[in-house]
């Protein structure tokens, strides 16, 4: 039978299902569903909670807030989706006198790194999941499969979790595409403004009213490059402009662009431009 918790979490009976199958009996070894739960009418607000596994959380109805590592407090409403990352600190839940209806699934395994790389999971932000058909039913199916203690059903739960993550990712990316098209020019302008200094990335994110994870994700989705790689490319493009249009020495240009090590700067230039700074200048 599922575990029923007391009024400290909700005034309604809640379900929390722990894994009942030993890991060696699973056929899908790269991903394992951990604890899964349904907390209808949740009233408990948690501060500074730290978890040892990833978790997918879906809020069916109600409202509240979510913040990661003491960062920006984000609004949560019915149809919201967010993640917990292992080792991070979270403050989340409904306001005093309020509630929300919550489903969650914990998960771990080597496949998590692939999901991170491809954008199926991401921490630090609240996403809008409205319009994704069958999401609540899928959580209920996972709860049912995990409750039975059958290895094949636990594997089915893992497969369904991946399917849910894919559908949510595709939905969120589609919804965010227009937003990114409007935000990326602002990010590019802010990064270009600090080419001649060390960029204050948290300050840039705060100035644009986005989180650091959103800043990284937007740059990656728009340009195809990780954030720091993108910044290096902007600086190397400016270095090429200076090499071709001024008589400044390579060491001077490196210092102006906030690279203290000239040899490191030259290696970066060759990496991104395909030739050394001196060869670039001599080709003119």
| Within-domain flag for 39 | yes
Inform me whether the pLDDT recorded for 2 exceeds 70: no
**For the chain, what is the domain count?**
2
pLDDT tens-digit readout, 80-112? 999 999 999 999 999 999 999 999 999 999 999
- 142 and 76 co-located in one domain: yes
Q: Are residues 116 and 124 in contact, defined by beta-carbon separation less than 8 angstroms?
A: no
Three-state SS for 87? Answer: coil
Q: What is the mean pLDDT of the chain?
A: 90
**pLDDT digits 0-9 by tens, 191-214:** 999 999 988 999 999 998 888 888
Render pLDDT for 99-155 as a digit per residue (tens, 0 to 9). 999 999 999 999 999 998 888 888 889 998 877 889 999 999 999 999 999 999 999
φ, ψ for residue 3 (rounded to 5)? -80, 130
Instruction: Give pTM, 2 decimals.
Output: 0.63
pLDDT on residue 175 = 53
Same domain for 107 and 245: no
Query: Does residue 273 fall inside a structural domain?
Result: yes
Look up residue 118 and give its two tokens: 């491809």
Q: Residue 153's Cα: distance from chain center in Å? A: 28
pLDDT, tens digit, for every residue of 170-179? 777 665 555 5
Statement to judge: residues 152 and 49 lie in one domain: yes
Is the domain of 244 the same as that of 122? no
pLDDT digits (tens, 9 = 90+) for 213-270: 888 988 887 888 999 999 999 999 999 999 999 999 999 999 999 999 999 999 999 9
* Residue 9 in domain: no
Same domain, 169 and 254: no
Q: Dihedral of CA 43/45/51/53: which sign?
A: positive
Separation of alpha carbons 259 and 249, rounded Å: 14
**113 in a domain, yes or no?**
yes
Decide: helix, strand or coil at residue 32.
Answer: strand
Confidence band, pLDDT 50/70/90 cuts, at residue 183: confident
**Structure tokens given for 78:** 């019915």
Among residues 175, 195, 215, the one where a domain terminates is 175
Q: Supply the range of the domain harboring residue 35.
A: 15-175
């Amino acid at each position: 039978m599922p575990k029923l918790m007391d009024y400290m979490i909700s005034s309604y009976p809640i379900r929390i299902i722990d894994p009942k199958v030993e890991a060696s009996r699973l056929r899908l070894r790269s991903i394992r569903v951990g604890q899964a739960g349904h907390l209808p009418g949740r009233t408990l607000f948690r501060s500074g909670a730290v978890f040892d596994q990833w978790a997918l959380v879906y809020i069916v109805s109600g409202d509240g807030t979510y913040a990661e590592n003491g960062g920006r407090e984000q609004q949560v409403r019915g149809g919201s989706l967010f993640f917990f990352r292992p080792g991070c600190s979270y403050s989340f839940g409904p306001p005093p006198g309020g509630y929300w209806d919550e489903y969650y699934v914990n998960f771990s395994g080597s496949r998590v790194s692939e999901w991170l790389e491809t954008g199926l999971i991401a921490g630090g932000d609240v996403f809008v999941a409205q319009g994704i058909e069958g999401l609540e039913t899928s959580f209920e199916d996972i709860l049912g499969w995990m409750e039975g203690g059958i290895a094949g059903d636990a594997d089915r739960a893992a497969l369904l979790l991946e399917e849910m993550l894919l559908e949510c990712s595709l939905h969120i990316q589609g919804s965010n595409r227009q937003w990114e098209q409007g935000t990326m020019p602002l990010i590019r302008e802010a990064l270009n403004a600090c080419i001649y200094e060390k960029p204050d990335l948290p300050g840039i994110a705060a100035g644009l009213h986005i989180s650091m994870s959103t800043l990284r994700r937007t740059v990656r989705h728009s340009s195809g490059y990780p954030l720091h790689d993108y910044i290096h490319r902007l600086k190397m493009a400016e270095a090429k402009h200076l090499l071709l249009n001024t008589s400044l020495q390579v060491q001077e240009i490196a210092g102006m662009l906030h690279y203290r090590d000239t040899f490191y700067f030259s290696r970066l230039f060759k990496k991104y431009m395909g030739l050394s700074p001196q060869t670039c200048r001599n080709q003119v």
